[in-house]
Structures are given as structure tokens and as C-alpha cells.
Amino acid sequence: MAEIKVPELAESITEGTIAQWVKKVGDRVEKGEFIVELETDKVNAEIISEEAGVLTQILAEEGDTVLVGQVIAVVEAGEGAAPAPAAPAAEPKAEAAPAPAAAQTTPAPAVVEETSNERVVASPAARKLAREKGIDLSAISPVDPQGRVRVQDVAAHGTAPAVAPVAAPTPVATTGGPVVFTPAANSDRVTIEKMSRRRQTIAKRLLEVKQSTAMLTTFNEIDMTNIMALRKRKQEEFVKANDIKLGFMSFFTKAVVAALKKYPYVNAQIVGDEIHLNNFFDIGIAVSTEEGLVVPVVRDANSKNFAEIEKDIANLAKKAREKKLGLNDMAGGSFTITNGGVFGSLMSTPIMNGTQAGILGMHSIVNRPVAVNGEVQIRPMMYVALSYDHRIIDGKDSVGFLKTVKELIENPEDLLLNS
């Protein structure tokens, strides 16, 4: 018999949430086979079986919080499928007179097995809610075009007209403040969704950055005419040579590295009462996932060419979407780039990442009238923003950094001289 335990993933990780069981009780398991996915504060980890056999017990359900070292399953020797352990028999109940009508309660819903032959893709919260409501996940029609069932889909499934009037919002007095009206728990005006572990961690860290730094933001705009023309001119040749498209991110990464070399305090961090000036250029690239924003890191970006940077970014983004990022993929970045333009953002104030001193925000490219050599022309323009820690970066350096990025992007051939 082999016990499946939650492994030690990193010094700072002590617990996680069962995201998905890949195997079910009775399934054959091979040694080293992935059987359960664990969601932690930082990454999703695949837990494997150290022995071959049959999965005979699952001791933690999807959505449950488990601790490092906790036994979550048992694998026993065997070749064939083992029957799932029967649920404990209910104790005999003595007959009793029916309770008065006013005291009768609604019985808890029965647990319903998923009847679909194909595994339903659903979030842990959705699975947990479905179990509580006794709903078969395979019967739910998700809103997500990719077919992932979310908690909102479960909550909306089979909703019938209310049989009783919804209670009016209850006023709740707050000490020293205005009265807050909280909708009743059964109101269809509010959908309550528990924050995922990843979302809780993101919220906590963003709040910590806001509270522990003197964050300011400076803005500029970039004329993207030349870089767009260069990409169009070199795209076919670049793809043939490197088997990947030439995007904007490699240009901005190169420009950021050049600007960091010129303004080293933007590439620094505060440790206690010391300023640590980083002599490496590990650039974090923010990637949006279903669970929130993650920031994998392009290592030693200063020593990589455009194709290598594009491939690194593509591979990291793919791993992020597939929940395959490891701790090493996200640790130790010295500066971050985030691109809100892919979602249509025209301008924003990005929040710095962890202990870093700066973050560059890219935005949508929009054709706007601008003055060029005394004439008004329509040019593709992008607003850029640099949020920085004013405790170690002065206005002169922050403005100079952003101006350097602007000049290099507007004259992309100059980036080759800074490579």
C-alpha cells in the first residue's frame, strides 16, 4: 500500500487546494503517473503516484484545502480495477411522529455522480457547489465558449421562479459609518463566489505593494509607425528563419533592458535599509490566466536575441494557460512589463510586482492626429506608463527611463546597437 501525500513544493507554501482528480477510485495507476492537480498560492502542481496499483481511496475532495504532508489518497497493489468503497450504511432510524409543519426542514440534496462518459471540465468551486446542490455537471450548459463549467453556471442551472418572496435587504449598522444594506442570502440579485486561493494571493500582494511603497506613475506616448513598418517588412523572413512571429514584446523587452542599463536604480530593490542594484536583467512578462495575472520571467534578456525572447515569451504564456508554470518560472524577476493593450486598454496605472522598483505598462495602438514637422498627421500611437517606487527612483530617472524606451521603439534599428 502506498499513501499519496501533498509534497513539499517551496518553503513558503504550506497548503493548497485540490483542483482536479485525474483518476477516480478503482482506476489503475502506474508508477510516476499524474493522478491529481493541486492549486497553491503560486502555481498548480501535478502530484504523481510513487507506486503502481489501484487507487482505492480518495481522502480529499476537489475544492478541499489540504496541508503539506497530508495523506490525500491510497494506492494498493493490484492489476484490475477495484470497486469503489461503499458508502457507510445509514444507521437505522426509529419511527417517530412527523414534526410540526413549522419545524420541518428541507432535506440535504443527494450527491449525484457525473454520468457523462467524458470528464467535465469545471473549476473546483463549481464542482463543490454542484455536489452540495446534487447537480450532475454533465447536465449543465456552460457560458464559457471552451466548455469550462464555472460556479455561476452551477448557480444558474435549473433556477426556477421563486416560490416565496425574496426578503428585503437587511440594514446592517457599521460602527461610526453609514448603514450598509446587505441583500438576503437567497436573493437572485447577488451571486456569491468564493475567491480562489490564487486570487486571494494576488489581492494580498497587490495590497501589500500599495501599502509598502511610495508608488508613482509617469506617462508618455510612442509613435509606432516605424516599428510597425519594420515588422511588416521583416516578418516573413523572420518566421522562415525562426519558426515564430516577430511581435512587439521582443522590441519592448530589448528597449527596457537598454533603459535599465542607463538607469540602474529602476532595476533595483530595497532590502531593509539597503538598495540592491541588480546586475542581471530578468524581465517578467505579465500573462492573464483564468485564475488571474501571473508573471513568468524571461531570464537574462540582455543576452538573448529577438527570436529567443519571442520563443521564451510564447513558451511561458503557453505554460501559464495550461497551468504548467513552476516556481522557478516566476521567481526572481528584476523588472516587469504588462500589456493591457491586448484587452483594449488605452491608459492605466500598473501596480509594481513584488519587491521590484518599476513596471512598464503598454496599451492599445490607436490612430490619432499628431503634429509631425509642423503638420498634422494620423499616426498609430501608444500610451505607455511607468509605475515606480519613489523611495529609490527620482522623477528625473523615471522620466528619462520612459523617454529612452520611447526613443528606441520609435527608432527600432537603434535597438541593434544596444543588443
Q: Which of 38, 45, 40 has the alpha carbon at shortest distance from 12?
A: 40
Which residues are part of the catalytic machinery? 390, 394
Length of the chain: 419
Taking the C-alpha atoms of residue 361 and residue 339, their distance in angstroms, rounded to an integer, is 6
**Pair 263, 400: CB distance under 8 Å:** yes
- Beta strand pairing call for 358-362 and 375-389: antiparallel
Residue 250 C-alpha cell reads as 521582443
Taking the C-alpha atoms of residue 322 and residue 237, their distance in angstroms, rounded to an integer, is 30
Q: Determine whether 95 is exposed, middle or buried from the number of CB atoms within 10 Å of its CB (0-12, 13-18, 19+).
A: exposed
Question: In Å, what is the CA distance from 360 to each residue of 55, 136, 286, 336, 390?
Answer: 48, 45, 10, 6, 15
Count CB-CB contacts under 10 A for residue 374. Answer: 5
Residue 184 C-alpha cell reads as 438576503
**Pair 16, 40: CB distance under 8 Å:** yes
Taking the C-alpha atoms of residue 238 and residue 102, their distance in angstroms, rounded to an integer, is 76
367 DSSP β-pair partners = 380
SS3 content of the chain, % helix, strand, coil (to 5): 30, 25, 45
Which segments of 89-224 does DSSP mark as H helices, in order? Answer: 124-133, 151-156, 197-212
Count CB-CB contacts under 10 A for residue 160. Answer: 5
SS3 labels along 296-330: CEECCHHHCCHHHHHHHHHHHHHHHHCCCCCHHHH
Residue 246 C-alpha cell reads as 516577430
Taking the C-alpha atoms of residue 269 and residue 217, their distance in angstroms, rounded to an integer, is 17
